[in-house]
Amino acid sequence: MLDKIKALQKEIDNIVASSKEEVEELRIKYISKKGLIGQLFNDFKTVPAEQKKEVGQAINTL
């Protein structure tokens, strides 16, 4: 899961939006309830207890 978070962070770091429409599309893709980051929070429920702190911090940083 940490690899998935790091890959998503790298992808987000390279994004450049040039219009309001692109910003809205990115917001929906990443931040919306059904977006990629929302999915990470849903997947967080299945993370083993000993990894929750590290994974939780990585998601929150993202």
What local confidence, expressed as pLDDT, does residue 40 receive? 94
DSSP 47: S
| Token code pair at residue 42 | 């849903």
Domain boundaries of the chain, sorted by first residue: 2-11+18-61
DSSP 23: H
- Residues of the chain with pLDDT > 70, as a percent, come to 100
What local confidence, expressed as pLDDT, does residue 24 receive? 95
What local confidence, expressed as pLDDT, does residue 49 receive? 94
Collect the ranges in the chain with pLDDT lower than 70.
Answer: none
Q: What is the pTM of this model?
A: 0.81
